[in-house]
Amino acid sequence: MKLNNRFDILELQQPIESEDHQDQEPLEKRELPVSEDEDIFAHFCFLMDCHRIRKQITSIWEQYRDNKVSVVVAALTTNVAFDNIEKLYNELVAVCKRYPS
C-alpha cells in the first residue's frame, strides 16, 4: 500500500514582514476594548468550562462509589477542580470590566 501526500500540490508562501508592527507594544501590555459580544462569549465559555468540570467531578465520585479510585483521589480531584473554577472566574472578572474591582 502506497501512501500519497495529498498536500504536495500546495505551495507555501513566505510571510510578509511589516515594519508597521515593530514599534507597537506587545499584545499583553495593550489595553484592548472589550465589546458586549465578547463579554457574552467569555461568560458562555466560563459556563461551559464549569459544566465540563462538574461532569468530571461527578464521574470521579462515581468511580469512588464503584471502588475504582480511593477517597483521597476523589477529594483531591474535587479540590483541584474548585481551584480551577476559581482561576477561571478570576480571569473572567479581569477581562470583563463590568465587574467591580
pLDDT > 70 in the chain, percent: 73
pLDDT at 77: 95
Q: Identify the pLDDT of residue 14.
A: 73
What radius of gyration do the chain's Cα atoms show? 23
| pLDDT tens, residue by residue, 12-56 | 777 777 665 555 555 555 554 556 777 888 889 999 999 999 999
How would residue 2 be classed by pLDDT, with cut points 50, 70 and 90?
confident
Are the beta carbons of 61 and 74 closer than 8 angstroms? yes
Q: Retrieve residue 43's grid coordinates.
A: 461568560
Q: What is the mean pLDDT of residues 52-76?
A: 95
* Average pLDDT of the residues in 59-80: 95
Instruction: Give the H or E element holding residue 98.
Output: none
Q: pTM, whole model, 2 decimals?
A: 0.59
